[in-house]
Amino acid sequence: MAPLSSIRRLFGKIRRRINDRLQQPIPNVYFEHLVLLTLCDVFARAVRGFKGCTPIRTAVLGYHPQLFALLEPLRDFGFAIEAQYAYREDDVVHPCRPLSDLAVSRYDALILGGESGQAEAALIERLRQSVPSLPRRHGPVLHVHRTCSRFLATLSRLRTGHFSSCLNLRKLALVALAVSTTRGGCIAECGAYQGGTAVFMGCLLREHGDPRRVHTIDTFEGMPAATPRDGVTPYQAGLFRDTRFEDVCGHVAAHGLQDAVKVHKGLSQERLPEILARESAVSLALVDTDQYLGTVESLRLLVPKLAVNGVILVDDYCLDGVKNAIDEIRKEHPGMAGAEVTYNLYMMWRHADEGFLSQGWASGDRASEPARGGEDG
């Protein structure tokens, strides 16, 4: 008869295996569900801001396990699911239509699902074959597996102790959406602080196979003095001094992003001209300077270089100085449009066409693609 200690060890091993197989995936599944919910909510808000439509007439293409559970919550975000195509042909509860019936112009947005990258690519190929008149790009389109899986992969790869961002999960989700739906040119960040968001964008670009470079700028000496246009603000001279140029460069290197993320020391309005002179266009910019002067001067330099379907995200929209800067720029550039997509984060765009907020129908990682600039206006 086996000793009691051996039996206990055996049962302990069995219990650990059961826990590993049954208990551990449950939190991961719920976290994935939360991330996908956040992405879908932010996507809906961006579509509403861009198109001004409520509800959002939407078609769902393909099947994704998490998307199946989201069909009801999507309606809470303002999506009106009018049809499902190539969903699950054996599902009598959720009947679907063949892809050949799809008329993309009928919908304000498309949500494309696939259980894996391979399944998503196969669905896109079927879509191309079934709809000969499919436009090269149609937006807005949310690629569920691609966007969510790469967002999650990026979060999991960020090294503890080397990541600190002022952006919450919702704001990071909007940044992830902007990274995945813009192309060409470069990415600029005004206000690096401790470099967390720049590292996040660099890691996400690597997940997408995207060759764009991130330029991130900060004084690394604390904030400059506020101006009367800032009104009453807590963001005064010397705030956010707890960061060093060398430390941020070290965080970038710790993630192997030396070629993808370039760190620049100085005021954004002083460093941007030399950076932008070397770049064909800016496809995405994140302005997080917290004050009127840094915001308005950065936007004055960025807007003329903004690519077609490019996006500028401005943080701290609740501050009077930041609002004043955005209002001033929109008066100077009547072609600029914008909306507060999630609380305190404002999205700006211009020269948007049918490819705005869309990854198009590319079935794999993006190769280098030149950004199309728009004339100033």
Per-residue pLDDT reduced to its tens digit, 75-100: 999 999 998 898 666 666 667 888 98
pLDDT, residue 170, reads 93
pLDDT, residue 242, reads 83
Distances from the Cα of 19 to the Cα of 5, 22, 24, 29, angstroms: 21, 5, 6, 15
| Per-residue model confidence as pLDDT tens digits over 241-256 | 888 999 999 999 999 9
pLDDT, residue 75, reads 92
| Per-residue model confidence as pLDDT tens digits over 96-127 | 888 989 998 899 999 998 888 898 889 989 98
pLDDT, residue 47, reads 96
pLDDT at residue 272 is higher than 90? yes
pLDDT, residue 5, reads 63
How many Å apart are CA 301 and CA 326, to the nearest integer?
Answer: 13
Residue 276, Cβ neighbours under 10 Å: how many?
19
Greater confidence, 113 or 283? 283
| Per-residue model confidence as pLDDT tens digits over 133-166 | 787 777 899 999 899 999 999 988 886 655 677 8
pLDDT, residue 11, reads 59
Domains of the chain, CATH where assigned: 25-146 (3.40.50), 160-349 (3.40.50.150)
Provide mean pLDDT across the span 182-209.
95
User: Closest Cα to residue 227, out of 312, 295, 301?
Assistant: 295
How many Å apart are CA 18 and CA 323, to the nearest integer?
Answer: 54
Show the 3-state SS of the chain: CCCHHHHHHHHHHHHHHHHHHHHCHHHHHHHHHHHHHHHHHHHHHHHHHHHCCCCEEEEEECCCHHHHHHHHHHHHCCEEEEEEECCCCCCCCCCCECHHHCCHHHCCEEEECCCCHHHHHHHHHHHHHHCCCCCCCCCCEEEHHHHHHHHHHHHHHCCCCCCCCCCCHHHHHHHHHHHHHCCCCEEEEECCCCCHHHHHHHHHHHHHCCCCCEEEEECCCCCCCCCHHHCCCCCCCCCCCCCCHHHHHHHHHHCCCCCCEEEEECCHHHHHHHHHHCCCCEEEEEECCCCHHHHHHHHHHHHHHEEEEEEEEEECCCCHHHHHHHHHHHHHCCCCEEEEEECCEEEEECCCCCCCCCCCCCCCCCCCCCCCECCCC
pLDDT at residue 41 is higher than 80? yes
Provide mean pLDDT across the span 308-329.
97
How many Å apart are CA 205 and CA 369, to the nearest integer?
Answer: 14
End-to-end CA distance of the chain: 87
Provide mean pLDDT across the span 332-352.
94
How many Å apart are CA 104 and CA 209, to the nearest integer?
Answer: 27
pLDDT at residue 32 is higher than 70? yes
pLDDT, residue 201, reads 97
